[in-house]
A and B are shown apart, each in its own frame.
Chain A
Amino acid sequence: KAGVTQTPRYLIKTRGQQVTLSCSPISGHRSVSWYQQTPGQGLQFLFEYFSETQRNKGNFPGRFSGRQFSNSRSEMNVSTLELGDSALYLCASSLETSNEQFFGPGTRLTVL
């Protein structure tokens, strides 16, 4: 069974631009969560989607948004990029109320 895939793996943007990251969960997984990882703040939860509905959200500004499609694939969008948005963005999928989350390799975003 294929794992969680994220595209692109690397991205360079400039301040003020917007970016869209994509995540394809493991087949059959309907829950998708997004995390941001930076050296200073560590791994922080962004939001979780289940059956196309956001059911939990972390403490991030409204510039960070996401959505989930009917095939469970998810995208997250960051608008008006800031230097501090440079980070590794990780996506994880799981079965409903599963004990285990499966993480993708992440998208490394650099904002110049």
Chain B
Amino acid sequence: DAKTTQPPSMDCAEGRAANLPCNHSTISGNEYVYWYRQIHSQGPQYIIHGLKNNETNEMASLIITEDRKSSTLILPHATLRDTAVYYCIVRVISGYSTLTFGKGTMLLVSP
């Protein structure tokens, strides 16, 4: 699976949009971009995934650049409960479910 690069930490004011970047310049054509988050002392939680089109669900939006070398996870109205470590992962959807986690971005949402 391709390697990803994320900033180690970011801050966001409550109610504002949180934009979390991820660089995956070596991504292959059949690799998807996944985002998970881990709130302190809990297991990781799936957020969203995409291949090349922008995606949106009830939790977040995923914007993937046209060359697919980077992406941005957008939390439109961050709340204190969104404080967590956010992991960007690229992987092929295959018979294996293996996720390769990097160090992620620690997002701190403040009042």
Binding site for B on A (CB under 8 A): 4, 31, 33, 35, 42-45, 48, 50, 55-56, 58, 90, 92, 94, 96-106
Contact = CB atoms under 8 A, between A and B. Distances in A.
Contact of A97 (B93, B98, B103, B104): B93
Given A97-B93, A100-B49, 10 more contacts: A43-B99, A45-B99, A48-B97, A58-B98, A99-B32, A99-B46, A101-B44, A101-B99, A103-B43, A106-B43
Interface string B88-108: 000001111111111110000
B45 A92 contact: no
Contact of B98 (A48, A96, A99, A104): A48
A48 to B, nearest CB: 6
A94 B97 contact: yes
What DSSP secondary structure best describes chain A's contact surface? strand
11 contacts: A4-B43, A33-B99, A42-B103, A43-B101, A55-B95, A92-B43, A92-B44, A97-B93, A99-B34, A99-B49, A100-B46
Interface residues of B, number: 21
Nearest to B96: A56
Interface string B24-54: 0000000010100000001111100100000
Max chain B Cβ within 10 angstroms of own Cβ: one of A45, A94, A96 = A45
A90 B44 contact: yes
A52 to B, nearest CB: 15
Contacts of A101: 44, 46, 97, 99
